[in-house]
Structure 1
Amino acid sequence: MKILMVDVDGVLVHGRPTDGLPLFTYLERDLNLASSLLQQEFFRPYWIGIVTGQEPIEPRLTEVLDRIAPHLTAQKLLDYWFENDSRLDRQLLADLARLKDEGTLLYLATNQEHRRAAYLRDVLELGALFDGIFYSAALGARKPESDFFRLVTDGVGVAPHEIGFIDDAEENIAAAMQFGWKALHWTPASALADAIAAFTQNVQATRL
């Protein structure tokens, strides 16, 4: 395995930095906006287009907030969103750093819009560890679509079987494996050493 692709949310990042709760747990208390209303008016109708790069997030979010929460600006909500979805798995990051020292290239492979992708790379400083980030808004395709895996594979220039992948969504794992990646479903009990061992066994079995 030359390359390891790592998902972000549910693998590297786990909700609020203070307690790990979902990022919008206290949205109504903190910003006087019900999360159910935000889901209904923003995420359900517009998120797929935003997360696949068909439109930027700010204009659409501004338009929605003007209707449902005129006391809020898009920037204030984005700041709240990103800051409350930033609890990093430090043990996994340390394990990944050791793997990189051994010669494996590391990339993020994630469904993100442009603003949060930049936040992950620059503010959370994941760009210091990872060799690059492949994300849906830049690619124009999202997991589990086959185009996502094709574009990422083309981007790193290796054969699919030389790519390992960890993700917390089983549908993404199934799609990656169908494309030829070595993939492992990541759970709270997972450890990177177990994933690498599974990938190695998979490669050895393929060669027999």
Structure 2
Amino acid sequence: MDKQVVLFDADGVIVRSELFGTHYQKTKGIAKEEMLPFYHGIFQECLTGKADLKEVIAPWLPKWKWGGDVDGFLLQWFEYENKVDQKIVELIRELQKNAVSCYLATNQEKYRTQYMREKMGFKKLFDGIFSSAEVGSKKPQAEFYEFIFQKLNVNKDKILYTDDTASHVEGAKEAGIDAYLYTEFEPFHEYVKPLLK
């Protein structure tokens, strides 16, 4: 395998956390039907930068039994999901030592993107971050991958992408790059060993 770039998904690959929404439902005793319309609805607009999370989530919080303000809710959300797999972090550093550039390619709204950059250390860890909120399209849309190709200016056959969501992996393959469906660390580590000298 000869790759110059590895693109990493965030949630489910680097971030190994139960979804905050699932955790919140359990702790507050809320039926998932109370939260899903938000996440499957207007939240999707936040992921492509077409809506502001702080504005659109505010009317939902009373229904979700949240007594604080919007910033407090988002902070609890982002902190709960701040569980980074250190084995992946070390692998990224090892790849970079072997002249392989590593980028984050993630579906995120703008506030969590900023949290990842600053609070989770991703600005220092990665060679760059491609967030759907900033790209203006999201995985598995072809436009998301095409945006990355244009920015990287690297031949597609020199790029590897890994994600734990099958549709995102298929989207990347359809866009013309090698993609690996991530399940756990060890098999992926074995897969990329040829890139490590």
Displacement of 1:68 in angstroms is 4.9
Give the one of 4, 21, 27 matched to 1:24: 21
1:182 matched residue in structure 2: 178
2:120 matched residue in structure 1: 124
Task: Supply the distance in 1 between the matched residues of 2:162 and 2:134 (Cα, whole angstroms).
Answer: 20
Displacement of 1:174 in angstroms is 1.1
State the one-letter code of the partner of 1:170.
A
Alpha-carbon distance change, 123 to 54 in structure 1, aligned in 2, over 3 angstroms: same
Task: Supply the distance in 2 between the matched residues of 1:143 and 1:174 (Cα, whole angstroms).
Answer: 10
- 8 Å contact kept, 1:182–1:199: no
State the one-letter code of the partner of 1:178.
E
Task: Supply the distance in 1 between the matched residues of 2:26 and 2:188 (Cα, whole angstroms).
Answer: 37
Task: Supply the distance in 1 between the matched residues of 2:37 and 2:189 (Cα, whole angstroms).
Answer: 42
Task: Supply the distance in 1 between the matched residues of 2:159 and 2:185 (Cα, whole angstroms).
Answer: 22
Task: Supply the distance in 2 between the matched residues of 1:85 and 1:94 (Cα, whole angstroms).
Answer: 19
Task: Supply the distance in 1 between the matched residues of 2:70 and 2:24 (Cα, whole angstroms).
Answer: 14
1:96 matched residue in structure 2: 92
- 8 Å contact kept, 2:4–2:101: yes
- 8 Å contact kept, 1:112–1:135: yes
Displacement of 1:196 in angstroms is 2.1
Task: Supply the distance in 2 between the matched residues of 1:23 and 1:194 (Cα, whole angstroms).
Answer: 30
Give the one of 3, 7, 10 matched to 1:8: 10
1:71 matched residue in structure 2: 67
State the one-letter code of the partner of 1:99.
L
- 8 Å contact kept, 2:47–2:109: yes
State the one-letter code of the partner of 1:48.
Q
Extract structure 1 runs of 4+ deviating beyond 3 A: 66-70, 189-193, 197-200
**Matched position secondary structure for 2:102:** strand
Displacement of 1:22 in angstroms is 3.5
Task: Supply the distance in 1 between the matched residues of 2:66 and 2:189 (Cα, whole angstroms).
Answer: 49
Specify every segment of 5 or more residues in structure 1 that has no aligned partner in the other structure, as ranges: 16-20, 201-208
Task: Supply the distance in 2 between the matched residues of 1:29 and 1:178 (Cα, whole angstroms).
Answer: 38
TM-score (ref. length: structure 2): 0.88
Alpha-carbon distance change, 154 to 22 in structure 1, aligned in 2, over 3 angstroms: same
- 8 Å contact kept, 2:9–2:105: yes
Aligned length: 194
Displacement of 1:136 in angstroms is 0.6
Measured against aligned partners, the alpha-carbon deviations of 1:123-149 in whole angstroms (never above 9, x if no partner) come to 010111101100111111110011110
Give 1:34-49 correspondences, 5 Å limit: 34=30, 36-49=32-45
Of residues 57-66 and 84-93 in structure 1, the stretch that sits farther from structure 2 once superposed is 57-66
TM-score (ref. length: structure 1): 0.84
Task: Supply the distance in 2 between the matched residues of 1:142 and 1:6 (Cα, whole angstroms).
Answer: 14
2:48 matched residue in structure 1: 52
2:108 matched residue in structure 1: 112
Percent same amino acid at aligned positions? 24
Displacement of 1:33 in angstroms is 6.7
1:137 matched residue in structure 2: 133
Specify every segment of 5 or more residues in structure 2 that has no aligned partner in the other structure, as ranges: none
Indicate the RMSD between aligned Cα atoms, in angstroms: 2.2
